[in-house]
Amino acid sequence: MTTETENRIPLADLLIFHQLTRSLTSSFDLDTILRTILEQMEHTIEAQQWTLLMLDEDTQELYYAIAAGGEQEALRGLRVKVGEGVAGWVAQHGQTLIVPESTPPESAQDPRLSIDLAGNLQGVRSVIAMPLRGRKGTHGVIQIFNPRTDRMTDYTIAFLHILADHAAIAIENARDVASIQQLSITDDCTGLFNARHLYDVLGQELDLCARQAVPVCLAFLDLDRFKLVNDAHGHLVGSQFLALVGRRMCDLSAPTDLCFRYGGDEFAVLMPATAAEAAHARAAEMLRQLMDTRFPIRPGLKLRIGASAGLAAAPADGLTVHAIIGAADSRMYAAKTHGRGHVRGA
């Protein structure tokens, strides 16, 4: 007969639950949360390797976000499709899968084991895999390879499920916060960064320039006679056109550059660690290709647009946000006044 005392959770485990909850809710940084989950798994159950895979919703693939023990390098860059292997099966079905060490040889043909057990880790004899499932679906999978079967009790499995539930909630919270932060720095129409974020990032780059003499340049770009697009085709087409221009600017910019919609038909391109001469050449080439582009609006309608740009450079034009933006803005208007369709520098 089971007594009330035997059903109680040990105080030490209650303290672990408390510490775990505090750790997972004290940060909205996803990497910190994942590291906390992995560390707790290591404390909870002895095994050869612990891995945590996250779901890439765009590709419907799982990637190894963090791992401990075993051959970690073998997992770097490896992806598992949803539905394939142990982790893929768990992600698809949202159910825990336990393959004990005593599994008979014929089950080695189980397609769920073909990738994770045969491909990712040598000498795998057993595995525990459980989904990180929250309110919005499955976000990832926890995998534990070769756990100590003599210590793999029902109590331990229940503890791991509680860990997975808390982890899923923490991951969702972190992603919600990240989404809100992204919305606060993103322009609704174009999807580019907004002016507020330009001020923040430019300020950081100017601080770096002042401390370490790392150059930075800012190009201000204005579409020529954009009002004619709105007048001829309406504001909905105008907004669609601005979004296409923003996307094209991102395609034409260097990987280290950042593109912004400053307001109206004005855009900005921030070029970190770039000297004035190189920035001028880059901005001129972007402007040329942008003006050569025919933007498809709808069947039978493709639009082209002229543009003018002004370039400011730090430290030559100053080391404050207002000095750099002011210089780029005034030169952009000088380019519009003197012929349009070119970049005006210092």
Distances (CA, A) of 214 to 150, 220, 271: 59, 20, 11
Angle at the Cα of 188 from the Cα atoms of 173 and 252, rounded to 5 degrees: 105
- Calpha distance 47→149 (Å, rounded): 9
Contacts of 153 (CB under 8 A, 6+ apart): none
- Calpha distance 121→48 (Å, rounded): 10
- So what's the pLDDT on residue 286? 96
Single-letter amino acid code for the residue at 139: H
111, 81 contact by CB (below 8 A): no
- So what's the pLDDT on residue 93? 92
- So what's the pLDDT on residue 160? 82
Diameter of the chain measured on Cα atoms: 94
| 343-344/306-314 β-pairing | parallel
- So what's the pLDDT on residue 180? 78
- So what's the pLDDT on residue 23? 65
- So what's the pLDDT on residue 36? 78
Note every long-range contact of 286-293, with CB atoms under 8 Å and residues 24 or more positions apart, other chains counting.
286/219, 286/249, 286/252, 286/253, 287/221, 287/341, 287/342, 287/343, 289/252, 290/245, 290/248, 290/249, 290/252, 291/341, 293/248
328, 220 contact by CB (below 8 A): yes
- So what's the pLDDT on residue 1? 45
Supply 136's token pair.
């919005």
Mean pLDDT rounded to a whole number for the chain = 84
Strands (E), the chain: 49-56, 61-68, 79-81, 97-99, 127-134, 137-145, 216-224, 258-263, 266-272, 295-298, 301-303, 306-314, 343-344
- Calpha distance 149→157 (Å, rounded): 11
- Calpha distance 122→212 (Å, rounded): 48
Per-residue pLDDT for the chain (346 aa), expressed as one digit of tens each? 444 444 565 666 666 666 666 666 666 677 777 777 777 777 777 788 888 888 998 898 998 888 776 555 667 778 889 988 889 999 999 999 888 775 455 445 555 555 444 444 556 778 889 999 888 888 989 888 888 766 677 777 887 888 888 788 888 888 877 777 777 888 889 999 999 999 999 999 999 999 999 999 999 999 999 999 999 999 999 999 999 999 999 999 999 999 999 999 999 999 999 999 999 999 999 999 999 999 999 998 999 999 999 999 999 999 999 999 999 999 999 999 999 999 999 7
Nearest one of 204, 205, 190, 299 to 249, comparing CA atoms:
190
Consecutive H or E run containing 257:
none
- Domains of the chain, earliest start first: 4-184 (3.30.450.40), 195-344 (3.30.70.270)
- Calpha distance 306→287 (Å, rounded): 9
Q: Is the dihedral of CA 90, 95, 101, 107 positive or negative?
A: negative
Nearest one of 289, 200, 223 to 250, comparing CA atoms:
289
Collapsing DSSP states into helix, strand and coil, what is residue 299? coil
Note every long-range contact of 38-41, with CB atoms under 8 Å and residues 24 or more positions apart, other chains counting.
38/66, 38/67, 38/68, 40/16, 40/163, 41/68, 41/142, 41/144, 41/160, 41/163
- So what's the pLDDT on residue 2? 45
